[in-house]
Structure 1
Amino acid sequence: MTEEQLDKYRLEGTKVRVVRDALEMNDVVGFVVAWDDESVLIRRPNRRVVKLKRDYVMVEASAPRPTLEL
């Protein structure tokens, strides 16, 4: 995920989905709040903030969920 994409999601208030593994229940859905070189902060609907690695797959929440190959 590039700096420009993260900034676009933050400024537009786009809800994103962070896919961490093959199980959909482990996805984090929310809004991009901030980021640095290694991590990104996502605000979930319950207003809690989650710090995640930028290595995870991140897509718009309205887009289909990508499948991860193990």
Structure 2
Amino acid sequence: MISEEQLDRYRIEGTKLRVVRDADPANDVKGIVVAWDDTTVMIRKQNRRIVKLDRSYHYQPMTEERYSGWNGEGL
């Protein structure tokens, strides 16, 4: 689970993130952190829509190579 400090840093810096939800890159969500609570994170996508995602997903800056540590069971 992503920490409060990481989320706050990404929000303040306006870092564009990739949220890796499963092994298929087509299912990734790309956008910036808007808000969060104990279990969810709100991401604003490029088309300005807001999506609410679980904090257990893998959050990483778009500048990094896509996370590929899947064990076949999801998260």
Deviating beyond 6 angstroms after TM superposition, the runs of 4 or more aligned structure 1 residues are: none
Q: TM-score, normalised by structure 2?
A: 0.91
Aligned to 2:71: 69
SS at match of 1:22: coil
Q: Is 2:25 aligned against 1:17?
A: no
Report the Cα offset of residue 69 of structure 1: 2.2
Offset at 1:40? 0.1
CA root-mean-square deviation: 0.5
Alignment of 1:37-52 (within 5 A): 37-52=38-53
How far did 1:19 drift?
A: 0.3
Measured in 1, the distance between the counterparts of 2:38 and 2:50 equals: 18
Q: Deviations over 1:21-65 (max 9, x none)?
A: 000000000000000000000000000000000000010011000
